[in-house]
Amino acid sequence: MKKAANRRTRPDAHAKMRAPSALLLAMESRAFLEWTACIATWPLLGCAAKGDGHPVLVLPGLTAGDASTWPLRRFLEGLGYAAYPWELGLNCGPRDGVVRKLLARIRSIHREHGRKVSLVGWSLGGAMARALAVREPLRVRSVTTLGSPLGGHPKASNAWRLFELVSGVRADDPRLRALMRRHPPVPTTSILSKTDGIVSWPMSVIPQNEKSENIEVSASHFGMGANPAVLWAIADRLSQPEDNWRPFDRSGWRALVYGDPQGADNARLLAT
């Protein structure tokens, strides 16, 4: 009976190790609708939680640059934050001193404002943001990631070959995997979608505790940085008081928009 039980659970245990299906990948074309919805709901998004003026550094995804995060940064500026682009061209991963330059940029922004810096990273940018927070916990206020590969099998993504090509780093490099397993001691929010066509959603789930959480949305990978529901959640998370951070509130209307990927319905898929 025990062996039979193991056979029954094995498919679910390995489900999170597969890259998103060809159907989900094809559905990434709906990102156009999310960017359009961002424009249509822009006046309403102005009602999102206002900021306290602290600096926010926004990191783009794999092979993307600051142009891709311009709407997000413009949104944050409208809420009162000092939003900064990363200014390092296209994101080709941790190569050519990128990590060193980003650490220097965090220190520079922190010095200029005299306040801790929040990090918002899209896809690979989110994974890098978490690694930066591990290195600079005294200068980083919070981390918010969007559809980022933060754990699980290194090839459970439809972008791992591109990552290896442009970064020169193997996706299964032990040093890279060890870095991904380290959790920053600052408030961290992972925003993810089960319909992400690039990164398998279990890869984006992080351990939840008093300083970390997961928020599930309905979004594509390429549209996540412009998805109105994602923008609203980012605003809510950044507005948390520095010394009194609280988990995301899913009560009321939010229960219809935001899910909990570690809830009872998902426990089976996330079990190891």
Domain ranges of the chain: 19-270
Mean of the per-residue pLDDT values of the chain: 90
* DSSP assignment string, 188-236: EEEEEETT-SSB-GGGG----BTTEEEEEE---TTTTTT-HHHHHHHHH
CATH C-level class of 19-270: alpha beta
Tokens of 214: 């997961």
pLDDT category of residue 143 using cuts at 50, 70 and 90: very high
pLDDT of residue 11: 36
Count the neighbouring beta carbons within 10 Å of the beta carbon of residue 102: 23
- Distance, in Å, from the CA atom of 101 to the CA atom of 267, rounded to the nearest integer, reads 39
Average pLDDT over residues 105-130: 97
Count the neighbouring beta carbons within 10 Å of the beta carbon of residue 11: 8
Does residue 119 surpass a pLDDT of 50?
yes
pTM above 0.85, yes or no: yes
pLDDT of residue 217: 97
